[in-house]
Amino acid sequence: MPARSRALWFAAMGVYAFLYLPLLIVIVFSFNDSRLNARWTGFTLDWYAKLLGNQQLLTAAWNSLVIALAVTLISVLVGTIAGIALSRYRARALSLLVVTPMAVPDILTGVSLLVFFVMIHLTLGMQSVILAHVSFCISFVAIVVRSALTNLDPHLVEAARDLGATPFIAFRKVVMPAITPGIVAGALLAFTLSIDDFVITFFTAGAGTTTLPLQVYSMIKVSITPEINAVSTLLMVMTLSLVVLASRLAPETIRT
Amino acid sequence: MSLLEMRHITRRFDDDTVAVDDLSLSIQPGEFFTLLGPSGCGKTTLLRMIAGFDDPDAGSLLLDGEELAGVPPEQRPVHTVFQSYALFPHMSVAENVAFPLRMASVRRAEREQRTREALEQVRLADFAHRRPDQLSGGQRQRVAVARALVNRPRLLLLDEPLAALDLKMREQMQIELISLQMEVGITFVYVTHDQGEALALSDRLAVMNNGRVEQVGDPSDVYEFPDTRFVADFIGTCNLLDGSVGQSETGLVYLDVPGLGPLGVASDASPRTGAPGTLAVRPEKVRIDARIEPATHENRLEGTVHDQLYLGDVTVYRIEITDGQLVEAMLPNTSARGERFFDFGDQVQLAWRHDAGRLLAD
Ligand SMILES: Nc1ncnc2c1ncn2[C@@H]1O[C@H](COP(=O)(O)OP(=O)(O)OP(=O)(O)O)[C@@H](O)[C@H]1O
Ligand SMILES: [Mg+2]
């Protein structure tokens, strides 16, 4: 190997180590038989078993799941319609307005939503968190659906009409099958974005409601226990597999 | 009664492009009709209006005597083979072909039988369960044709269906399309910018230019007797000699071509003396030789061989005639050992019969 490409190889390895070593440590120590995160003493599944007994944590996980499912459902419905509209009316301003919320800092979104909810007298809780998550998940679904439609051969719809399909049947038989992978990918994205959101949830959850990320945060304020490593590992496995699935379904939109 | 009547069809885009300009044509039942013209002359625009994807700004379309305006594409008994084939990617070959039958609510048993027959007709019975992306270009093209024919439309529109295929495949598909059309007896309207394809396939063809029809006729008519300079030039190659009308007698007009003198051309028209005119003569009608005896009913010129193009079956010689103009003459390579008849700079004489030329008044 020439010196230059060897240097490049080491640099790349360094970057990967930096990206994945912390995650790896969390996973490894979630199986560690010691209360301290310092030394490996032996393999155990105790921490995972303990999770099942932690009522607060289970409630938080349940809330997160309900929120994520509701967010996914609403975002897919509204986002798909938005994506179809975007591909039909190709005005740049429209796409920009849909993409912008993805770029706005979470803290700004969180604060402004909080102010808005208080202004319209919406009681903070599950419902406000769902609305808040929907507001940024719609954009992702809309973008994925629009891109699936852009890749669709426009002659396909014409061919269907030509061969006897009404506009509605043509949409159902030709457009829907083509954009379904995009919609599913959008749904998976919405789900993962919702389930591990912290900042926006923090602002909009109110006092009584807690979600998994919020619960984990309040636990580490006391101390970082192997129990947290176990929760984090589970969360990580779930989100990673959903992201991989989404990228398989819509490879043009979400590149891996 | 003609099957399809197009009456004064006009279609404008953004006010300044006139894609189709006051075009009238009628298509007879059962014929293979071709629209031939250069890129951008409005062929696709015209087909889209027939299929119902676009509406004329003026004029009317009648199918079997009935106005088509306001009839949506799904209700027109007109099916299209798209240039991109537009096969449904998530359906198998058989499902693609069965689609129009499904739309027409044909019962399952009959649907399956007709799908099978249509696939056999295009020799794809063994590919029924493949997906379109598992087929070659030629096979996809045949699926598109089978799908468009299966529900027996009154009219089949084909927009450059062979453009994406290689030369060999294209020639094979041309032969298949002709025999398929004769077998099913459905009227074809075929779009191409390939003049060879148009001549080989059609019963009749229309040459289009700038959204207008320049000439309609059967292939040999259009090739042998072009009406306009554009047609003469677009179909095959043609020598064009400009001049002005001189003497004329019954059935014969003499054209005074500057530097060449009067050249005779058979013509039934009796144009005004002094009017501008063009003599068109195809290269294969021009004889060349070292010496040609003068004959009545023939034009004879002299020149030197300027260059030659060996094409295998024929050689095209370009002869510089006395005033510096080039005339092309095509000679079949009949000699057994392939030696050349003439060389650069040779003094030659060339001649063609009065009735081999064509007088274009434009
Ligand atoms: N939707 C459209 N909007 C604006 N102009 C158009 C549209 N469709 C076609 N045109 C214009 O109309 C003219 C005719 O186009 P058309 O596609 O009918 O040509 P064509 O004969 O099919 O050419 P080709 O052989 O390249 O397919 C062109 O100048 C084209 O730019
Ligand atoms: Mg075209």
Residue to probe by mutation, ligand 1, list B15, B20, B21, B41, most atoms within 8 Å of CB: B41
Residue of A nearest to B52 (CA): A162
Out of B233, B255, B283, pick the residue that ends a domain.
B233
Which range, A183-192, B153-162, B265-274, has the best average confidence (pLDDT)? B153-162
Three-class SS of residue B218? Answer: coil
CB contact under 8 A, B79 and A162: yes
Is A155–B84 a contact, with Cβ atoms under 8 angstroms apart? yes
pLDDT tens sequence across B289-298: 888 888 888 8
Chain A residues with beta carbon closer than 8 angstroms to that of B44: none
Average pLDDT estimate for A67-90: 91
Same domain, B160 and B263: no
Which of B45, B50, B54 to mutate for ligand 1's pocket (most ligand atoms within 8 Å of CB)?
A: B45
Listing DSSP states for A171-228 in one string gives IIIIIHHHHHHHHHHHHHHHHHHHHT--HHHHHHSTTT---HHHHHHHHHTT---HHH
Among B201, B233, B265, residue at a domain's last position: B233
Greatest mean pLDDT among A15-19, A70-74, B250-254 = A70-74
Token pair belonging to B100: 């129009």
| B190 C-alpha to ligand 2 centroid (Å) | 11
**Between B10 and A150, residue with greater pLDDT:** B10
Residues B222 and B241 in one domain: no
Residues B242 and B223 reside in one and the same domain: no
Verify that B28 and B15 share a domain, yes or no: yes
The verdict on B318 and B331 lying in the same domain is yes
Q: Domain of residue B99: give its range.
A: 4-233
Of A251 and B51, the structure prediction assigns the larger pLDDT to B51
With an 8 Å Cβ cutoff, are B86 and A174 in contact? no
Last residue of a domain, one of B171, B199, B233: B233
Give the nearest ligand 1 atom to B46 CA. 18
Tell whether B169 and B89 lie within a shared domain.
yes
Predicted local confidence at residue A251, as pLDDT = 67
Nearest chain A residue to B148 by CA: give it: A163
Task: Tell me which residue has its CA closest to atom 18 in ligand 1.
Answer: B42
What's the pLDDT at B103? Answer: 93
CATH code, domain carrying B210: 3.40.50.300
Q: What is the model's pLDDT at position A256?
A: 42
- pLDDT higher than 60, residue A253: no
Distance in angstroms between the alpha carbons of the first and the last residue of chain A = 27
- This model's pTM is above 0.80: no
Residues B299 and B227 in one domain: no
Residue B321 has pLDDT above 60, yes or no: yes
Each residue's pLDDT tens digit, A152-174: 888 999 999 999 999 999 999 99
Is the pLDDT at A213 greater than 50? The verdict is yes
Nearest CA in chain B to A166: B74
Instruction: State how far the Cα of A17 lies from the Cα of A40, in Å rounded to an integer.
Output: 20
Confidence of residue A182 (pLDDT cuts 50, 70, 90): confident
Tell me, in angstroms, the distance from the centre of ligand 2 to residue A156's CA.
17
Residue with tokens 């938080």: A60
3-state DSSP call for residue B117? helix
Same domain, B210 and B259: no
Average per-residue pLDDT for chain B: 90
Confidence grade of residue B362 (pLDDT, cut at 50, 70, 90): low
Q: Dihedral of CA A131/A132/A133/A135: which sign?
A: positive
Q: Are residues B190 and B217 in the same domain?
A: yes
B299 shares a domain with B212: no
Q: B286 C-alpha to center of ligand 2: Å?
A: 35
Looking at the fold, whether B149 and B30 belong to one and the same domain comes out as yes
Whether residues B151 and A163 touch (CB distance < 8 A) is answered with yes
Query: Residues of A numbered 175-204 whose beta carbons fall under 8 angstroms of chain B's beta carbons: which are they?
Result: 177-178
Q: Whose CA is nearest to atom 17 of ligand 1?
A: B44
Q: Which residues of B touch A (CB under 8 A)?
A: 51-53, 72-74, 78-80, 82, 84, 86-90, 99-100, 103-104, 147-148, 151
CATH number of the domain to which B287 belongs: 2.40.50.100
Strand partners, B212: B209
CA atoms within 13 A on the CB side of B277: 30
Do residues B211 and B344 both lie within one domain? no
What does the pLDDT look like over B135-184, one tens digit per residue? 998 899 999 999 999 999 999 999 999 888 888 888 888 998 999 899 88
**CA dihedral of A132, A138, A139, A143, whole degrees rounded to 10:** 160
Task: Say how many CB pairs under 8 Å bridge A and B.
Answer: 60
Least distant ligand from the CA of B23: 1
Give pLDDT tens digits for A113-132: 999 999 999 888 899 999 99
Give me the number of domains chain B comprises.
2
- Percent of chain B at pLDDT > 70 equals 98
Q: Which domains does chain A carry? A: 55-255 (1.10.3720.10)
